[in-house]
Amino acid sequence: MSIGWYLAISALVFCIGAGGVLTRRNPLVILLCLELMLNAANLALVAFSRMHGNGDGQIFAIIVMVVAACEVTVGLGVIVAMFRRRLPIDVDELRALQG
C-alpha cells in the first residue's frame, strides 16, 4: 500500500480537526478537535517511520502524545475553572483579549 493513502487519511483528519476548531464554540469540542489534529500528525509520523524503516517517527509520535496529554490536562483544568466561576462555556463570549 502506498504512503499516499496514509497521508490522505492524515490530511483529512487534520482538516476535520481544524474545521472543528474554527467553527465550534464549545471549548470542550475545540479541545477534542485539537486532539484530532494532533493524532492526524501522529498518523503521518508513524507512516513516514514505516516508510523509512526506522523508529524516529514513532518516538516523535509518543512525544506528541505526551504533549497532547499535558495540553488536555491544562485545557480541561481551565474549562473546569471557567465552569466554577460561572463564566459562559462559549469561546465567542470570552473575548477579553480584544484590543
Positions that interact with another protein (CB under 8 A)? 18, 21-23, 30, 91-92, 94-99
- The nearest distance, CB 55 to another protein, in angstroms, is 26
User: Distance (Å, rounded) from C-alpha 65 to C-alpha 83?
Assistant: 26
**Residue 55 grid coordinates:** 523508529
Question: Contact, 11 vs 36, CB < 8 A?
Answer: no
Residue closer to another protein, measured from CB, 23 or 54:
23
| Cell reading at 94 | 470570552
Whether 43 and 9 have beta carbons less than 8 Å apart is answered as: yes
- State the minimum distance, in angstroms, from the CB of residue 15 to another protein: 10
What's the CA gap between 37 and 52, in Å, rounded?
A: 23
Q: Which is nearer to another protein, 19 or 77 (CB)?
A: 19
Residue 53 or 99 having the CB closest to another protein: 99
Instruction: Report in angstroms how near the CB of residue 76 gets to another protein at its nearest.
Output: 16
Q: How far is the CB of 91 from another protein (least distance, A)?
A: 4
